[in-house]
Amino acid sequence: MQNSLKIILFLLLLGNMSLSAEAKDSKVAISLISMRMDYREYDNSGSILDSEKSDFSDIAGIGLKYSYKFLKAEDTYSQIDVNYMGVYGHTDYVGSLLGSGNPYGSVTGKTHNSVHDIETVYKKYHYIGGPFEFHYGLGAGYRSWRRELSANQVETYKWFSIRPLIGLQILSTKLLSFGIEAQYQYGINPTMDSSNPSGKFDLGSADIIQVNLNINYVYNSDIDLFTKFKFEEQSIDRSNVVMIGGTSYFEPDSTAKNQYLEIGLAFKF
């Protein structure tokens, strides 16, 4: 985390050394991200089987982004974004031993988590009068979540997704803007790999609704400063039944309500 902060400060100083009035179509951004997780699994009756919770200080990492503007006209332009997020940390586990029949809360512990998300998105922007800029787009992405409940019990959720989105930007001043963006992620062939019991489970679905709130400040012609708050609601449907060692297993229904805080800078060129 300290190394990432040093990189951000270095780029900020570098950008402040050079001022240029030339319009710049490319942008590279780096950010620090913290995550709050609230994940729950349910039995067939809807009762909680286990949960994973964290605060913003428990899971953190970095975000990287490349953007390129093209097909620019007076009131419209297109943009390609390539985004990466990687966060790591622990959650507080509350549940029970698998197959024990004991109630929720009979076992507690710490789970180590790593979440990676990468996407490529095409966006179309339109100025719609006054300070408002409207955009919509379509993206494709890949997400993975490695959940280490213990040394011998590791679960890895992963899937590709199609991601339509829509958003609105408010240009408050020439330097400051506010935005909101909503995105739906439709999971394709989601799976969960388990080490104990050892098997691969085909999930019924893995979909995410995501809302982003952002503030962008133009520090100079080379550097933008930004902050984001992101809320996502994830739902995973029960998997198929897999026979392992003569016993049947399945991954249950689950939900997650996650929040992210992000702060960073973008270098324009």
Question: For 186-207, what is the mean pLDDT?
Answer: 97
Say yes or no to pLDDT of 128 above 70.
yes
pLDDT tens-digit readout, 14-65: 444 443 445 689 999 999 999 999 999 999 999 999 999 999 999 999 999 9
Q: Please list, residue by residue across 209-243, b when 16 or more beta carbons sit within 10 angstroms of its beta carbon and e when fewer do.
A: ebebebebebeeebbbbbebebebebebebbeebe
Q: Cβ of 67: how many Cβ atoms within 10 Å? A: 18
pLDDT tens-digit readout, 79-127: 999 999 999 999 999 998 877 778 899 999 999 999 999 999 999 999 9
Model pLDDT, residue 19: 39
How much is the pTM? 0.89
Name the phi and psi angles at 167, rounded to 5.
Answer: -160, 170
Give the pLDDT band of residue 130 (cuts 50, 70, 90). confident
Model pLDDT, residue 124: 98
| Side-chain-side CA neighbours of residue 165 (13 Å) | 29
Residue 252 contacts residue 55 (beta carbons within 8 Å): no
pLDDT tens-digit readout, 139-153: 999 999 999 999 899
pLDDT tens-digit readout, 197-252: 999 999 999 999 999 999 999 999 999 999 999 999 999 999 999 999 899 999 99
Give the pLDDT band of residue 6 (cuts 50, 70, 90). low
CATH topology of domain 2-268: Lipocalin (2.40.128)
Distance CA 144, CA 203 (A): 13
Distance CA 5, CA 62 (A): 10
